[in-house]
Structure 1
Amino acid sequence: MKRILLILILVSNFSLGQKNERRLVWEENFNGNALDTLSWNFELGNGCPNVCGWGNNERQIYTKDNHELKDGFLIINTKKEASSYTSTRITTAQKKEFQYGRIEARAKVPTGKGIWPAFWMLGSNIKTVGWPKCGEIDILEYVGKEPSTVFTTLHTEDSHGNSVNSRKTTIVGIEEGFHLYAIDWSEEKIDFFVDNKLVYSFYPKEKNEKTWPFDQKFFILLNVAVGGNFGGPEVDDTIFPQQFSIDYIKVYQ
């Protein structure tokens, strides 16, 4: 009995030690009056001429004017203006890029048919190898046409678009208040969490460039799309304006 207790204590201490070894390497608390341009880039327009509709037949135009920093929150305002939808999309490309670790955001999603907020990552080599070969990690996707549902997805050369590496999780009340969305990413697998509850794990049996492009640095993106292949095709114009509120982003390694 004493031997069993000793083993349990040693295992517990080892696990605690592993957890304590991980440290906070970057955090964004959205303080101040403007986004930190040492960390963030804006992606503007409708994706044309290279990827019109941002590759998904999305309807929004991205601007620098559809966001605000208020009381320590980033708020992305998505609007219907005349015949256009406007929103904001920002990235940390070439400024804050990460390989492995826990990446998390505390956020409150917008709602309504046609809305499509996301907290996600792309491989830093996207400009040289293109998508989907660069890899994509969708930590949070929410579409207003499917309330009470969170989507967590990986796109690879082996499976992209309507990816098989995806999980739909029903969470009643996910639209209410703030929730924590995270991944724990290692050389072996990627685990997805909502409010610290494991909702999906990805660990292909065979790792190669087609199934596992996740052995390189990735950058972070935040945006709200309107309509498109995933968010639409129907958009309820009465829902606008909508707000995607992000409290913070943290990266532990």
Structure 2
Amino acid sequence: MKKSFLFQALLTLLLASQYGYSQVDVVYNNLVWSDEFDNNGAVDSNKWYHQTQLPAGGSWFNNEVQHYTNLISNSFVDNGNLNIVAIKEPFTDQGVTKQYTSARLNAKFAFKYGRVDIRAKAPNGQGTWPALWLLGKNVNEDGGFFDSNFGTTSWPACGEIDIMEHGIFPGQPVNYIGAAIHTPSSSGNTVNKGGIQASDIAQNYHVYSMNWSPNQISFLLDGVLFYTYNPSVKNASTWPFDADQYILLNIAMGGFAGTIPANFTQTSMIIDYVRIYQNTAVDTESPTNFVASLGAVTGSSVELLMNANDNSGTIAYTISYPGGPTTTVYNPSGVQKSVIIPNLASNTNYTFTIAATDMSGNTVTNSPIVLNATTSFNPQCSGSDTQASEGAFTLGYNYTFQTIGTDVKITFELLDSKVGLVAFLRSQSPFTETQMSNVSGQTFTQTITGQTLGSTISYAVKFAYAGGLAVTRYISYVVGSNCSLGIQNETAFKQLVYPNPVDDNLHLQLSDNQNKITLSDVVGKIHLVDLVNSDHILDMSSFKTGIYFLRVENSHGIQNLKVIKK
């Protein structure tokens, strides 16, 4: 028996209060569109459109083998539920005969930003591909509901948001459901995806949710977050999600879902409700009580602390500084937000400008707030990094500085694999550029002579290769420092890393509340870079057996530790 709408609405509000503020950046409260499937018989044609037109070539995408129909046997409402039914039966349409029928419904409602909740049971049998998803209203897909009036954009430039799919994840067990984002930057077998193991999806109802804000798209199963998409750069390639999207419901057969068993007859997806929430009230009230201050400042990072109040429940903080990216983060009203700005140069003054608005764009009266911070002096002898002063690095680079008499030997290794690689050592002041000698592979060295002990030098390396170049950040070094143990200010360290050797969980007890950790292997490949608190557990259960190096950076300096994974 279907729960009453009033009870469901109260339950939704309860879940929002328990989970929403802690798991999503914007909580949407006003129901703007729904189908409760209360009237038995045909699907409500005021709300849904049957998409049946075959794509050019006579076959649906991804080598699927079904016809989508508007037959009541493939989609109907019964006892408060929508039934989408895939059936093994020969069926001829548009001059093409196929052996399976199903239904593909387009919602006749499109929206920008909000939350979608769909309570459903979905088939989990071999060869079936149930999906709850969205497409841009502007997609030029012939036969789609919006195509004739709005279809101006090809897939994936229109954007696609997959709330739930099952059956297309080789190597995953039954009842593993996935969510995914398709854009021009990554489509098809996209890298932008997440998944979670659910209890029997065919026998149990689950609530599949998607929360879409101007900042990020989050996916939840039964109110629990399991994946968030939030690209650092939002443009037409990564973020076509600033325009209307509409919901699709369907079961595909075969294709990526694999071989359909010979004894298959039919299967159903049973949907209790589809609900869309937005915040509809016109908001003219600006945030109040906006404050911003500095938190922890290290040799390579600055922590910014922000807080404000607003009736909408959510504050947007936009942070910018000269030479760095502009970043917007969202946080609940009245809750302090901590943002750590990483990869900064040591002993350098930075000016941060922080603006605060609500979700309607109302600006707080004392916005922006300007903060000045000077990173601590952090001379380095060795380490790994990914920061670039020109171009970009993926895996990054290793570096060492070694004083020999009054000479300094400087060695850099590029971890990104490149063809035709050469390296040039750059002095910051005065600016010079000297070609380095290749040691082996992608490791290069250069010795500078006649240095003054105790003086500070600053160098970067330009890696030039076929098709481009990338330049490391300038790294400061005090001539004469030996860093033989990889430790600066060694007496300040009282840090524990245990157990070592480790099976699964590596426990870290570090000196600062803010620590940058980098985990690399013996060939220099970086496996992890993270900002962690003083007490942290590093899960190494999925790492291969071998030797790893853990680099810890904080206000006391740098410590390099050898970790053995059993």
Same-fold call, TM cutoff 0.5: yes
How high is the sequence identity, in percent, across the aligned residues? 39
What is the aligned partner in structure 2 of residue 249 from structure 1?
274
- 1:90 partnered with 2:105: yes
CA contact (8 A) 2:218 2:225 kept: yes
> For residues 154-181 of structure 1, what are the alpha-carbon distances to aligned partners after superposition, in whole Å with 9 as ceiling and x for unaligned?
1001100000001132224333311000
**Could you tell me which of 135, 139, 146 is aligned with 2:159?**
135
- 1:153 partnered with 2:180: yes
The structure where helix makes up a greater share of residues is 1
What is the aligned partner in structure 2 of residue 118 from structure 1?
131
* In structure 1, distance between residues paired with 2:61 and 2:246: 19
SS of corresponding position for 1:96: strand
Runs of 4+ in structure 1 deviating by more than 4 angstroms, as ranges, are none
> For residues 109-140 of structure 1, what are the alpha-carbon distances to aligned partners after superposition, in whole Å with 9 as ceiling and x for unaligned?
11211000001000011121110000000001
What is the aligned partner in structure 1 of residue 35 from structure 2?
28
**Could you tell me which of 49, 60, 79 is aligned with 1:54?**
60
Matched AA of 1:222: L
* In structure 1, distance between residues paired with 2:226 and 2:211: 12
Q: For residues 11-26 of structure 1, what are the structure 2 equivalents within 5 Å?
A: 19=27, 22-26=29-33
SS of corresponding position for 1:56: helix
Q: Could you list the runs of 5+ residues in structure 1 that have no partner in the other structure? A: 1-11
SS of corresponding position for 2:124: coil
CA contact (8 A) 1:78 1:88 kept: yes
What is the aligned partner in structure 2 of residue 70 from structure 1?
78
Shift of 1:35: 1.6
CA contact (8 A) 1:111 1:242 kept: no
Matched AA of 1:184: N
CA contact (8 A) 2:60 2:66 kept: no
Q: Could you list the runs of 5+ residues in structure 2 that have no partner in the other structure? A: 1-17, 91-97, 141-151, 279-566
- Normalised by the length of structure 2, the TM-score is 0.39
* In structure 2, distance between residues paired with 1:137 and 1:90: 16
SS of corresponding position for 2:60: helix
> For residues 167-226 of structure 1, what are the alpha-carbon distances to aligned partners after superposition, in whole Å with 9 as ceiling and x for unaligned?
132224333311000011100000000111101000000000000011110011000000
Matched AA of 2:100: Y
SS of corresponding position for 2:59: helix
**Could you tell me which of 105, 119, 122 is aligned with 1:109?**
122
CA contact (8 A) 1:80 1:241 kept: yes
* In structure 1, distance between residues paired with 2:204 and 2:264: 18
Determine which structure has more spread, i.e. the larger CA radius of gyration. 2
What is the aligned partner in structure 2 of residue 189 from structure 1?
216
Shift of 1:240: 2.4
Task: Give the total of aligned pairs.
Answer: 232
Shift of 1:238: 1.9
Matched AA of 1:163: T
Quote the RMSD (CA, aligned, Å).
2.0
* In structure 2, distance between residues paired with 1:109 and 1:241: 13
Matched AA of 1:199: F
What is the aligned partner in structure 2 of residue 5 from structure 1?
none
SS of corresponding position for 2:189: coil
- 1:79 partnered with 2:87: yes
Shift of 1:22: 1.9
* In structure 1, distance between residues paired with 2:264 and 2:34: 32
* In structure 1, distance between residues paired with 2:79 and 2:200: 24
SS of corresponding position for 1:53: coil
Greater relative contact order structure (CA < 8 Å, 6+ sep): 1
Structure 1 stretch displaced more, 95-104 or 79-88: 79-88
Matched AA of 1:187: P
What is the aligned partner in structure 1 of residue 50 from structure 2?
42
Distance change >3 Å, CA 72–CA 117, structure 1 → 2: same
SS of corresponding position for 2:263: helix
Structure 1 stretch displaced more, 184-193 or 55-64: 55-64
Matched AA of 2:135: L
- 1:231 partnered with 2:257: yes
- Normalised by the length of structure 1, the TM-score is 0.86
SS of corresponding position for 2:243: coil
